[in-house]
Structure 1
Amino acid sequence: MSGLPVRSQPAADQCVTDWLEHVAEDNGLLTTQLESALRRDGGTTRFLAVKPDPRTVTTITNLTGAPQAKVTAGTLSRFDGTAVDLDGLDPRRWSSWRTVAGRGWFRLRGTAACPACLAATGLWRTAWRLPTVTVCIEHSCYLLEPCPGCGRRFADHPHEPLRHGAGTRCLNPIGERAVCDVDVATLGTTTADADDVTRQERHDLACTGTAVLTLGELSPAKEYLADVRHLAVLLLHLATQSHDNRLASWVDPIRKEARETGRARWHLSPPTDPLVRSGVLTTADHILTAPTVHEAADLLAPWIETAPTGTESRLAWLADRTTMTPALTRLTMAALAPHQRISTHLRRTNTSGDPARIPQVVPEPLYRRHATHLFTTDKGETNRLFLSMCLARQTGAATWADAAELLGLDGDLGTRTARSVSARSRPDPRHLATAVDMIRASLTGSYREREQQVRALTGSDAWFERWADEQRPGTRATSHPYAVTYLWCVHAGGLSSSSPAWATPPPRLVRVAYRQFAASLRPPAAAALLALMRSRSGGGAA
């Protein structure tokens, strides 16, 4: 086929349909005549602005002299593999578009527009057809849609690929022989929020294939763009559940749109208003570009709180409403950590370690330094026992009862302690794991050996009498069990009720008497007791 008299090439970023409309005008043709010429070699104009038939692209090149690469660059296939996934779309089969549409946020027809750009250049850009493009970076304003004249998106003509004319007017068909005559270039614009501009800049950069820092790590452009969209879908579902408009300014408009349209299938269709859509995408981008997973989880956590709790878990509810990519799975699990059972969290943080290095109760100085903030009750020994059982769970104990038995305690005590702490204090599993890691790093030596050293003292009174004569004159011989128990608790990290000084668990009055004894010890006397154990540990307890 011979070329057209007036031959031209598309400008950078110009949509192929807008360029062809100008080609028709320059050559004195109706757009319908040019469409017929494009089909003469057996090609189809179906999906022309999205993924054109290769035969049609060849015809366009023959007619206009424009290289095929430039023609294709004016279609959405330019973003295939980054902002869109056109795999499976076949211009020869009309039904194939459903495959792409089922992936969500795909628009076969229509475009947004920047009136300022149209006024300056008169050209419609390809990127405006992407639902994730909501801001004009050049003019720092929101794109406009729908048309204030016809109420539809611009370039929304269902039966023909080209408008009936070129230029900056809407030209959407209205009625049988009329078109919308609104000049888009004369419409006003709204200044975009700085965060929305930043997000759009990052999006546009990713569309060029540039990796983006996501959750503290470089993420391929395709993964970043997909993660932002899927997280935006999740936020939209959560927004329709929330009555708290403090989460984001776009929550109320989304709830209103959901009520008016009855639509809750956000994974398929994005919000209509580009300002609202921009806010959703920016919120998702802000979360994903946080420096660490934990910081991102803290940003997502208030949204997670709005998820309904019923017969299914929060995780199941969330997973049913978006595509859980690897990054979103990490992020969601981190945000859900406070809602998880502590035992579940500890199983995921298992560490190899020697149970002999775990005391029955965490030493009080370590407890005060690392863990007091985790508990709402001031049951010191109970909380310290719970922390030791957490250490035991991380070394492989399958249950709380197993953890207690690993420490030489009754299994039922472990179960009751875990239930008590979980019910009264509800420590955050993430912070608990951090505290346990810090405590583990501070523990040294074998506590089983220390327990044996203290047990060796129970059958002898000589050491106690010497200590009492030197450090605590007047101490009664009946205080011998209290001294043994003090060493059991402080030196061996044992639970006071499990002290070898007692043949049976001590009654309340005995426990009170022991606490009085421990409180009355002056620092030199306490130091002398502990020094006794250190001297014996060198050659073993007798």
Structure 2
Amino acid sequence: MTGPLLSLPLIPLPLRLPPIEGEGFPSYLDRIVAQLPLPVALTVLLYRLGLQESERGAEARAHTGVSLSAQQLRNAAFTLRLPEERLRAMLLTHFDGVAVDFRGLDPDDPDSARRVGLREWAYLVGSHYCPACLAEDQAWRLAWRLPFSFACVRHGALLRDTCPRCGRRAGNLREEYGGGPAYATQKRQPGFCMNPPATGEAGVGRGARFCGQDLTAVPGLSLRRAPRLLKTQARLDAALEARHDPVSGLPALAFFQALRSLCALLLYVAEPGDLGPLPPKVLDAFGRHVEERQHRLAQRQSERRPQGGRSGPLMRFYGATPTSAALMAALLPWAAEALTPAQPGTLNVPELAERLRPLVERLRARGQGHLRMVAKDFNFQGPLLDAFHAVLSGRAGFDHRLGLLSPYAPARRAYDFTVDDVPALLWEDEFRAHFAPLFEDSDLGERTSRAVCSLALVRLSALLPWEAACAALELPATYACGACNKAMGVLSSAQTEEAFARALHGLAARLEAQPARANYRARREALRDLRAVAVTARELSLAGSFVNPGKAAARHQHSAAFVWEQITGGDWRGAPAMREREKRTASAGELYGRFLDEKLPALRPFLLEQAAALAAGVDPGHPRLTRGLES
């Protein structure tokens, strides 16, 4: 269906009722019908607006107030005598791209709304409410249809989510009718519950009456003594309005998606003591959730089949939208505080990792078989995903002992240099002056130790685990679980972790202060085809001593590997020339060592001259070689 087929022309209403700021579309229609001079059913108004094909209650529109097609929006705006933009702001799609992602929603396809409702955290049916707000103007706020609205900042009160008389979800929308208006053929009573009465009290047919509870008289829970909750709600309201959260620096959609992921994780694994100070009734709501969760976990365990591989009913906290305002009031303050960096404006991944760590450890203690799937299950993205991976990879442990969260990091922030500024093997002079003594009693070779130091330095500039640091420096991935772990063990056993941390942070500070730095990534990229450096008999004779020239091809390749090392600061085994030789012989290392011992002493000046000329061409901003930081 592309839209209702009108049998009557559209006529502007004689009553022009100004919408209340922030009011939702169903609430606005209810107030219009209630103020018309003659009794008119809501279905009549919907028909006159061009939103349904007849005045029959069975034709009432599903998912009222969620979205309208372009034609329906024009029809309704014309009849209500409102600008289309004002009307659009009253629909739940107003929050599309802000707090929810409504991609795939088709106003003419009720099934699409159902699918989106299963995917997103929004109330397509039902709403929270503030009794004090309803008492003032009888208007239901659009934001109450988001689980991120749990309190009314203006009245300092927790929102309500059910009618105390009928016990049903508030909002005057019928779930069994796909979110269509309840009792749409009866006169509307704004501020009153129009849900079906409690079970056993409903009438039949034309005699059926709605609940009728005066929602403006429902007692609320004051949060005046809970400023933490009101501060959180004010921040969420501001992010909805500005479409950006200045505290975390995230766009609104990324901010609310991160909040959703954190809330879902708390629902799955948190205990009441994790959530910080909360009012007793709010804490009770979370306590009831924990009891239910424990029951379901026990049920899963009891239904586990030893050989069938089944584990009972799944616990899907990410997909299921919480409908309790008190439960969300328990979760959102912690989640918002987790997304509050020490320096407002940019999330700090190490800080976020430390906040996630207790929850991740509890997941680990629970015996979670697929811990790394948690990121997918709870849709971790951006900095939240980086922080989660940091906890799992052990990177945060490094950060806490030696890295950015250690006492040796003056500002506890990433240093202002990049992966590109670090060679794959630490500068030789820096290593021998500050790091070599720390590894002298180990069986780690100098090249391996220099590589570990470079990887550790990278982790002070970019928030990477060992594996990603290896990839960034183009070192073998086996260094992450082999050399790096072994080196950390050596430092721990020798009780030299403190000395290593001081040396590492001192080097990071000196590198950060360098006005010009070599770009080692650019150098490696520019020299990917450097497979030979011609060294003729003339150069050998000019070296001033007799050197057996050997085979020209091998001499050219070994010379290219040495020049590549000097320019890129890399391991000779990664040189393009040596990768070619390794395809033909298993003794490449032995032959290169012989070249260094027998031919390099005489050729060094010539090859260093060649290396300097190449460096000037591939990295003109810093045309120096790599022996030391300031060489």
Common fold, TM-score beyond 0.5?
A: yes
CA distance in 1, matches of 2:84, 2:493: 70
- Cα distance change, pair 72–126 in 1 and its aligned pair in 2 (3 A): same
Counterpart position of 1:286: 337
1:214 is displaced (CA, Å) by 5.1
CA contact (8 A) 1:358 1:392 kept: no
CA contact (8 A) 1:9 1:65 kept: no
1:157 is displaced (CA, Å) by 1.7
1:82 is displaced (CA, Å) by 0.3
Is 1:393–2:466 an aligned residue pair? no
Corresponding letter in the other structure for 1:82 = V
CA distance in 1, matches of 2:247, 2:392: 19
CA distance in 2, matches of 1:427, 1:52: 67
1:318 is displaced (CA, Å) by 2.3
CA contact (8 A) 1:16 1:71 kept: yes
- Cα distance change, pair 235–62 in 1 and its aligned pair in 2 (3 A): same
Counterpart position of 1:355: 428
CA distance in 1, matches of 2:496, 2:374: 24
Query: Secondary structure, in 3 states, of the residue corresponding to 2:237?
Result: helix
1:42 is displaced (CA, Å) by 5.8
Counterpart position of 2:174: 157
1:117 is displaced (CA, Å) by 0.9
CA distance in 1, matches of 2:162, 2:446: 59
- Cα distance change, pair 268–434 in 1 and its aligned pair in 2 (3 A): farther
Is 1:187–2:218 an aligned residue pair? yes
Is 1:9–2:32 an aligned residue pair? no
CA contact (8 A) 1:150 1:172 kept: yes
Query: C-alpha offsets along residues 493-517 of structure 1, whole Å, 9 cap, x if unaligned?
Result: xxxxxxxxxxxxxxxxxxxxxxxxx
Match of 1:438 among 493, 505, 520: 505
Counterpart position of 2:290: 255
- Cα distance change, pair 383–101 in 1 and its aligned pair in 2 (3 A): farther
- Cα distance change, pair 172–186 in 1 and its aligned pair in 2 (3 A): same
1:20 is displaced (CA, Å) by 0.8
1:342 is displaced (CA, Å) by 6.6
CA distance in 1, matches of 2:111, 2:373: 31
Counterpart position of 2:7: none
1:12 is displaced (CA, Å) by 1.6
CA contact (8 A) 1:267 1:321 kept: yes
Query: C-alpha offsets along residues 307-359 of structure 1, whole Å, 9 cap, x if unaligned?
Result: 12658564x1421321121121222234445477979x99x979313235324
Counterpart position of 2:561: none
Alignment of 1:85-484 (within 5 A): 85-154=101-170, 155-158=172-175, 159=177, 160-161=180-181, 164=186, 165-174=188-197, 175=202, 176=204, 177-192=208-223, 193-213=226-246, 215=248, 218-239=249-270, 245-246=273-274, 248=276, 252-259=287-294, 264-291=315-342, 292-308=348-364, 312=369, 314=371, 316-336=372-392, 338=394, 351-352=422-423, 353-359=426-432, 362=435, 391-395=450-454, 418=487, 421=490, 435=502, 437-438=504-505, 440=507
Match of 2:44 among 30, 33, 55: 33
Query: Secondary structure, in 3 states, of the residue corresponding to 2:246?
Result: strand
CA distance in 2, matches of 1:330, 1:45: 43
1:186 is displaced (CA, Å) by 0.6
CA distance in 2, matches of 1:6, 1:82: 33
Corresponding letter in the other structure for 1:26 = Q
Query: Secondary structure, in 3 states, of the residue corresponding to 1:47?
Result: coil
CA distance in 2, matches of 1:383, 1:113: 67
1:285 is displaced (CA, Å) by 0.9
Counterpart position of 1:533: none
1:114 is displaced (CA, Å) by 0.4
Counterpart position of 1:468: none
- Cα distance change, pair 422–386 in 1 and its aligned pair in 2 (3 A): farther
Q: TM-score, with normalisation over the residues of structure 1?
A: 0.64
- Cα distance change, pair 390–183 in 1 and its aligned pair in 2 (3 A): farther
Query: Secondary structure, in 3 states, of the residue corresponding to 1:169?
Result: coil
- Cα distance change, pair 182–360 in 1 and its aligned pair in 2 (3 A): same
1:283 is displaced (CA, Å) by 1.0
- Cα distance change, pair 433–224 in 1 and its aligned pair in 2 (3 A): farther
Give the number of the structure whose alpha-carbon radius of gyration is greater.
Answer: 1
Corresponding letter in the other structure for 2:138 = G
- Cα distance change, pair 335–9 in 1 and its aligned pair in 2 (3 A): same
Q: Percent identity?
A: 24
Query: Secondary structure, in 3 states, of the residue corresponding to 1:245?
Result: helix
Q: Return 155-164 or 69-78, whichever deviates more.
A: 155-164
- Cα distance change, pair 105–119 in 1 and its aligned pair in 2 (3 A): same
Query: Secondary structure, in 3 states, of the residue corresponding to 1:204?
Result: helix
Q: TM-score, with normalisation over the residues of structure 2?
A: 0.56
When the two chains are superposed, the root-mean-square deviation of aligned CA atoms in Å is 4.1
Corresponding letter in the other structure for 2:427 = D
Residue segments in structure 2 that go unaligned for 5+ positions in a row: 1-9, 55-59, 297-312, 343-347, 404-417, 457-465, 468-481, 512-631
CA distance in 1, matches of 2:445, 2:229: 47
CA contact (8 A) 1:234 1:321 kept: no
1:281 is displaced (CA, Å) by 1.7
Corresponding letter in the other structure for 1:12 = E
Match of 2:92 among 53, 57, 76: 76
Residue segments in structure 1 that go unaligned for 5+ positions in a row: 368-379, 400-412, 445-542
Q: Return 122-131 or 350-359, whichever deviates more.
A: 350-359
- The count of aligned residue pairs is 407
